[in-house]
Amino acid sequence: MNILGIETSCDETAAAVVSDGMRVRSHVVATSLKEHARFGGIIPEIASRRQIESIYLVVSQALKKAKMAWGTIGAIAVTTKPGLIGSLLVGVAFARALAYATGKPLVEVDHIQAHWYACFLRKANDKSPLPQLPAVGLVVSGGHTSLFDIKDFNRVKLLGQTRDDAAGESFDKVARLLNLGYPGGPAIDRLAKEGVNQQIRFPRAQLENSYDFSFSGLKTAVLYYTRQHKNFSVPQVAYAFQDSVISVLTAKAMRACQRKKAKSLLVGGGVAANSALRLSLQQAANRLHISLYLPPMVFCLDNAAMVAGLAYRDKRIEG
Ligand code: KG4
Ligand code: ZN
């Protein structure tokens, strides 16, 4: 079945056509990210206005690129939560109108679940194996840090989440403190490579016996360090901060995999683009003989292919 997916939860307006929950026929993303950069974070009012301007064009392009007539689309999928309400509303209203006008079923999709599902997406000629279940899902984005126990597509349990800042949010806040611009993840990733050191060690909030995360204390520790050391090295601080985030994410994800006897670890969200995190997860997964899945960059970030893909696993569609 071909599903048209629509994603408008934040600053991206995205549409995609995916066949049978995995083959990506087309995917189009428009983003207003650059317009928010000078404010150091997403401005919801700007984001939702750009959504309204882009939605029609993005959906039309996705259908055109997939070379699929309306008659071949079996269902429409849309992100309904979580996200910025003004942005979500644009996609939901558009998808509902489409479903109403065409008589096709509408599937509501959770954005965070869609992020780990991105590990199942495959381009046309990609024959690489699909992840095996049970799996653990680690979603690390600008707004979320969550661990899931995935027994099967309709039996997913939240194991833990951040109690304060999301992982990406902490990259963005520390980058701001270091004057590295917004979004901060890519800049810290780059600089940290030049600042490898063991002298600076920031706290690691392990929160014993819990799968929850906490990153706000780390951000404060970085702030105090930069106040106390006037001539600090930006790359070294970037490295030490990143090392703290990565070690906590890796340790908790691996503990979840062991305890839940997971065959695969499925990682998604913008922070999954981080080169040191990818390496750390790969090394740990190899040690425990767990298959690690990291989507290509375009599917780590917000996109509609993951939404169309996950919708296919909805009981009403798949059954
Ligand atoms: O998933 P995403 O596009 O948006 C949300 O749904 O939140 O993730 C964006 C986040 C930002 O916080 C950004 O700083 C972070 O992902 N990010 C990175 C990297 N690339 C993007 N964080 C660390 N290292 C990177 N290379
Ligand atoms: Zn996201």
pLDDT of 242 higher than 80: yes
Point out the ligand 1 atom lying closest to the alpha carbon of residue 167.
Answer: 12
Residue 318 has pLDDT above 70, yes or no: no
Q: What are phi and psi of 232, to 5 degrees?
A: -65, 155
Burial of 61 (0-12, 13-18, 19+ CB in 10 A): middle
Q: How far apart are CA 283 and CA 246, in angstroms?
A: 12
Q: What are phi and psi of 303, to 5 degrees?
A: -155, 165
Confidence class for position 268, pLDDT limits 50, 70, 90: very high
Kindly tell me if the per-residue pLDDT of 307 is higher than 70: yes
The ligand placed nearest to the CA atom of residue 167 is 1
Nearest-CA residue for ligand 1 atom 2 is: 270
Q: How far apart are the C-alpha atoms of 143 and 270, rounded to whole Å?
A: 10
- For the stretch 114-159, pLDDT in tens is 999 999 999 988 999 999 999 999 999 999 999 999 999 999 999 9
Of all atoms in ligand 1, which is nearest to the CA of residue 300? 1
What does DSSP assign to residue 134? Answer: S
| Other CB atoms within 10 A of residue 171 CB | 30
Provide the pLDDT for residue 41.
Answer: 82
User: From ligand 2's centre to the CA of 141, what distance in Å?
Assistant: 6
Phi and psi angles of residue 130, each rounded to the nearest 5 degrees, phi first = -85, 155
Quick one: which of 142, 51, 56, 53 has its CA closest to 89? Answer: 51
What mean pLDDT do residues 23-40 have?
A: 91
Q: Quick one: tokens of 109?
A: 């999709």
Percentage of residues in the chain having pLDDT higher than 90: 89
CA dist 246 and 277 (Å) reads: 6
Ligand 2 centroid to 275 CA: how many Å? 18
d(CA 195, CA 240): 8
> What pLDDT band is residue 45 in, cutting at 50, 70 and 90?
very high
- Ligand 1 centroid to Cα of residue 105, in Å, is 32
**Average pLDDT in the 263-276 region?**
96
Residues with CB under 6 A from ligand 1: 10, 141-143, 168, 171-172, 183-186, 189, 269-271, 273-274, 301-302
- In the prediction, which pLDDT does 317 show? 78
Nearest CA to ligand 1 atom 16: 270
How far is the C-alpha of 303 from the C-alpha of 27, rounded, in Å? 8
Rounded to the nearest angstrom, the distance between the alpha carbon of 128 and the centre of ligand 2 is: 24
C-alpha 71, offset from chain centre: 31
Q: Measure the CA–CA gap between 136 and 241, rounded to whole angstroms.
A: 25
d(CA 160, CA 272): 18
Q: What is the mean pLDDT of the chain?
A: 95
Q: Which has more pLDDT, 256 or 154?
A: 256
**pLDDT level of residue 315 (50, 70, 90 thresholds):** confident
Task: Tell me: pLDDT of 319 over 60.
Answer: no
Ligand 1: nearest atom to the Cα of 168? 12
- pLDDT value at 39 more than 90: no
Tens-place pLDDT, residues 176-230? 999 999 889 999 999 999 999 999 999 999 898 999 999 999 999 999 999 999 9
| Contact by Cβ (8 Å): 149, 136 | yes
Q: Collapsing DSSP states into helix, strand and coil, what is residue 103?
A: coil
**pLDDT value at residue 239:** 98
**pLDDT tens-place string over residues 64-80:** 999 988 899 999 999 99
CB 302 within 8 A of CB 9: yes
267 CA distance to ligand 1 centroid (A)? Answer: 13
